[in-house]
Structures are given as structure tokens and as C-alpha cells.
Amino acid sequence: MSDAVGPPATYEAELDASGLNCPLPLLKAKMELNRLTSGAVLKVTATDAGSQRDFRTFAKLAGHALLHEEAADGIYRYWLRKG
């Protein structure tokens, strides 16, 4: 996903799920989002290539906004706004 808009400059929480395989990055992100208030932004870093599909689908189904995603050198970053 390459939009002209970059990642959000600020976020309320950050989760490092590097080294974890599917479905752990998504499960940990869900738990972290549960702690946040509506509208808060969570930044997630993962190394599992399957996380791209997982986070896109999760955001749609759970009513959260996937604000931005990046992929470079096997590192995947996501910025999710809690719905």
C-alpha cells in the first residue's frame, strides 16, 4: 500500500511483535487495542509476512481504521486507529 500520506506522527501505544508468527501479532494487537480508548492509534511492528493480510482483514471486520502500513526488509509496520 503506497499512499502519498505517510504514517501518523503520533500514536498512543506501540507493540513490537517482531519474531512472532501468525496469529500472534494479530492477537497481541487485539489485546492492546482493547486497552485503548476509541480513536487511539496503535503502531505495530511485525516480521510475519502473513500479517499484511491479517491486519487488513482484521481492520475491516473489527471496525478499526488501518491508517498506514509499511513493508521494508522483512519488517512490517501498521498504524491502527481504534474504532
23-42: pLDDT as tens digits: 999 999 999 999 999 999 99
Judge contact between 52 and 76, C-beta under 8 A.
Answer: yes
User: How high does pLDDT run on average in the chain?
Assistant: 94
Cell triple for 80: 491502527
What whole-number percentage of the chain has pLDDT above 70?
Answer: 95
**pLDDT classification of 6: cutoffs 50, 70, 90:** confident
Other beta carbons less than 10 A from residue 3's beta carbon: 8
Judge contact between 37 and 7, C-beta under 8 A.
Answer: no
Residue 1, pLDDT score: 46
Cell triple for 83: 474504532
3-state secondary structure (DSSP) of residue 68: strand
Q: What's the mean pLDDT in 42-53? A: 96
Residue 78, pLDDT score: 98
Active-site residue list: 22
At residue 2, does pLDDT exceed 60?
no
